[in-house]
Amino acid sequence: MVKRTGHRKVSSTFAAASPPSSSFELKMVGGRVAHPVLKGPSVVKELIIGSVLGLAAGGLWKMHHWNEQRKTRAFYDLLEKGEISVVVQE
């Protein structure tokens, strides 16, 4: 019969920091893993990102309206020249 003492064998990835005593400590032998530091939102960064996105969306919206205005102007120019008509021919 095997007598159990309650002690476990320490694996090779751990090393004892001090000789076994009443307060047994384990120390990792491997390197430390770099974790990202979580910080709050940056107000300046948020303002810059918001401004850039707003200007980009505004520019696209403005280009869309310029295109519609060009189509409308071309339609009225053709209507004035008599090349097109809005009256249905019989």
Helix H, strand E, coil C: the string for the chain is: CCCCCCCCCCCCCEEECCCCCCCCCEEECCCCCCCCCCCCCCHHHHHHHHHHHHHHHHHHHHHHHHHHHHHHHHHHHHHHHCCCCCCCCC
Distance between CA 38 and CA 80 in Å, rounded? 65
CB-CB contact of 62 with 55 (8 Å): no
Choose between 9 and 76: higher pLDDT: 76
- pTM for the model stands at 0.48
Per-residue confidence band for 49, with pLDDT thresholds at 50, 70 and 90: very high
Per-residue confidence band for 17, with pLDDT thresholds at 50, 70 and 90: low
- For residue 5, the model assigns a pLDDT of 59
Dihedral through CA 71, CA 73, CA 77, CA 83, nearest 10? 20
